[in-house]
Each structure stands twice: as C-alpha cells, then as structure tokens.
Structure 1
C-alpha cells in the first residue's frame, strides 16, 4: 500500500473509530436515561428504533464521504450530531410518554438539533470548511428531522395526522425531481425566495413547541394546520418552478 493510500486508510479508520465510540456512548446514555425515566422495556424499544435510524444516518454519511478529513471537520461533526439527535428523537416512536422526563425528551432532542442547525453553517463559513459532504448532510438531516419529529408528535397525540403533509411534501418534492432526472426531463434552478428559510425555521420551532408538554392539544392541533399551510404552498410553487410550469 502506497504512503498516500495508507494515510487515507488511516484517516478512514480514525473517522470510523470516532463515530463508533460516540455512537456507542450516546446509545448507552440514551438507554440508561429511558430505563431510568421509564422502564427497561421502554429503553430496549427506544434503542432498537433509534439504532436503526442512526445506522441509516451513518450509512448515508459514509456513502457520500469522499475525503476522510471532511468527517472530522468541526462543522460536519456538528451536523452529524444533528443526525444523531434526530435518530434519538425517532426512538420515542416506540416509547409512550409515561413520565414527565420521557414526555420532554423528544422536544429536547429535536430542539437541540434545531439549535445546532444554526451553528454548523456559521461555523463552516467562519472556519472556511464548507464542504459538499456538509451540504448533503445538512439537507438530509433537515428532511429526516421533518419526518421523525412530526411522526412522534402524531403517535403521541401532540400533532394531527394532517401535519404529516409537511413531511410528505419534502419527500414528494425530492422524488419528483429524481423521477424527472432519471427520465432526462429538464429541471430548472430553484428560484430565490425570501420565505423558504423563514418558513422552515418556523416549522422547526413549532414542532419543538408542539412536542413539549406545555400547550394543550386543543391549541396545538388547530394552530398546526395554520402553520403548515404556507410551507405547503411554497413546496408546490418550487416544484412548479423547477419543472418549468411557474414563471
């Protein structure tokens, strides 16, 4: 093995070791928390679901990893932490909100991930470490969070099923673009929008508040339908724009 290839292999091993150590520590910590706050059976179910989602997160990151140095870049580590937090959020799909500590956990995990979303991009620009991997992870984990957190909200009765339309819209948009690309159909540039990011931030903040056992369901459910509507309109407009049917 040449020196360059050996160094590259060593960096891959270092990145995998760091990821494995952090994942093991987080998994054990999460299991202990759920077992203490709920039951061991709850903790086992949490670990199975969270572990499966985290494995998908790691697989996605590994598939898109070209330069092993990118895996250890501070901004990408922050972004990867978001993926882990959203995997932890997903674990509560299999755990009932039986105690106050458990009831607060999904909001805490998802809300922390949302807060880190404000950090990774700023950190990348500040350090001059913007990478293609970071951009892919950021988009993928945004989408993952928009899927698992509302699902937990629906399963726990904190959100109405209709709110899942925001999750469906994101996946339908990406599936539609992929379908057109595979068939060689034209795909235009996404138009500039002053609403897209503020609306995404609004949804993230609302989901966090909805998951927290603070506001009554009688308030959260009707408000969720009002909050989700503008984002669905923007998704529809964006798809029509990139497919040449708008403007």
Structure 2
C-alpha cells in the first residue's frame, strides 16, 4: 500500500497538467474499450462520472495539503485510477464478452498496488494524502468487482464492497470508530485476499462452485477482520467525559485521516 508524496518537496506546480494527462489517458482507454468491446453509453457515462469525481477529489486534496505537484508514487496510483475507470465503465456497461480484458485491467491495477508503496518508501515521499488516494482507489475497485460478481453469484457479494463504506458511515455516528488501530499482518492479508478472490471469480476461469466458495471465504475473512477491529476499538474507546463529546482514541500510529479506510479496513487501518 502506498503512503505517498510529501508536498513540500514538489514545487513544480504541475498537478493540473498531470491530472489533465490522466484524464486524456482515461478517455483514450474508454475509446479503446468502445472499439474492442462495444462499450455503450451507460459505460461511457459511468466511467466519465467516476473519472470526474476522482480528479475533483484529488484536486481538492492537493489544495488542502498545499501541494502543487504529484510525486513518483502518486503517478503510479494515478495510473491505477485510470485502469479502475476502465473496469468501472465495463462493469456498468455490462460488457460480458470483454471479460478477458476486464480481467487484464484488474490484474494490472492490483499488481500496481504493490508498486506505489515501494516507490514511496524508496523515494522517501510518504504522505497522508497519498495514502488516502491509494486506499480510495483500492476500495472503489473492490466495490466495482463486487457489483460485477453479484450479477452471477447474487447480491450478497455486494457486502464485500459495501462494508468499508458502511463502516465510514457508522464512524460519523460513533466517533470512537475513528481511532487508529495497531498494525496487523492479518489485516493486510485479508485486504489483499479480497481483490485476488474477486478477480479470480470474475475472470470466468473457475467453476461456478469454486468461485462461490472462494467468495464466501473472502467475505467470512472480511467479517472476521472487521469484527476483530471493531471489538478492539470498542474496548479501547475513551471514557465519556462530563459535558463534552467523546474524544478520539489514539491507540496506534496512523498518519492519515482515520476515516479513510481500505476495503477490509476499520478505524486507522492502512492496508
């Protein structure tokens, strides 16, 4: 997982041009999908809305962070975001005969998820903004893959993609859920499992029964992971103080806004 760029080190003021380049690449990908798979108007619309929302949120994040340019790892995540846009367009457009291409785009996006973090660490360009950008791309890809697989296995698969967003909503009501969590290898493993299993199940290469069994396993591990972390957060929640709202716990180190979660995350989960 990436923990990307530090704003003060990038003074070129090129973020707008970089995002414009990514937008052009996104449109080029849509055009390629239209030429090869017959991407319809619904797919174009869904992909365009996704891209516009992504660029708008990233631009707002850059402004808040006082950033004028993206860093090395950010560019990797931006490329992943473009690929996720293609996956989104295909799923929304119901491109059934484009499954091999859908599988390929998803596989590359998941593979690059292991690259941006390494780039950030090697270049010493870690930041909360980069981590948030990376996690949001991860979470949305899982949501889209869940929607794709729900067409064949049933709506219950949507729980995998929706769980992270449900947790975010719950955290607005229960502030103690915002507290950071201690690092966990098990949490990272569960997070990685979701993408791999959904990719394998969506690829059409596995028998339906095997795909269903693996997806059930992934969902069960996700519920366990969420449940374990919610229990930890509950046990370590701050005691209510008279006349004031409950504060945020600080039980573990987390650089980013703890509301920002990955697909299998809770609280301050970063992977």
Q: TM-score range by the shorter chain?
A: 0.7 to 0.9
**TM-superposed deviation, 1:242:** 1.6
| Paired residue secondary structure (2:205) | coil
Counterpart CA distance in 2 for 1:103 and 1:127 is 36
More helix, by proportion: 1
**TM-superposed deviation, 1:245:** 6.9
Q: How many residues align?
A: 226
Is 1:52 the equivalent of 2:88?
no
Q: Which residue of 154, 157, 180 maps to 1:163?
A: 157
Instruction: Look up the match of 2:241.
Output: none
Q: Deviations over 1:52-108 (max 9, x none)?
A: 111111122112112334x42010111122222222211122323443xx1122222
Structure 1, 130-139 or 20-29: larger mean CA deviation? 20-29
Q: TM-score of the superposition, structure 2-length normalised?
A: 0.75
Counterpart CA distance in 2 for 1:205 and 1:186 is 27
Q: Given that residues 124 and 130 in structure 1 are in contact (C-alpha distance below 8 angstroms), is that contact kept between their aligned partners in structure 2? A: yes
Aligned CA RMSD, in angstroms, stands at: 2.3
The 3 A distance-change label for structure 1 pair 245 and 15 is: closer
- Runs of 5+ unmatched residues, structure 1: 1-6
Q: Which residue of 38, 61, 64 maps to 1:64?
A: 61
Q: Deviations over 1:26-69 (max 9, x none)?
A: 312322x2222233xx3433221111111111122112112334
Instruction: Look up the match of 1:22.
Output: 22
| Paired residue secondary structure (2:81) | helix
Q: TM-score of the superposition, structure 1-length normalised?
A: 0.82
Is 1:34 the equivalent of 2:33?
yes
Instruction: Look up the match of 1:211.
Output: 202
Q: Given that residues 77 and 134 in structure 2 are in contact (C-alpha distance below 8 angstroms), is that contact kept between their aligned partners in structure 1? A: yes
**TM-superposed deviation, 1:204:** 1.1
Structure 2 counterparts to residues 1-247 of structure 1, below 5 A: 11=13, 14-31=14-31, 33-39=32-38, 42-65=39-62, 66-69=65-68, 71-99=69-97, 102-155=98-151, 157=152, 159-181=153-175, 188-244=179-235
Counterpart CA distance in 2 for 1:124 and 1:144 is 21
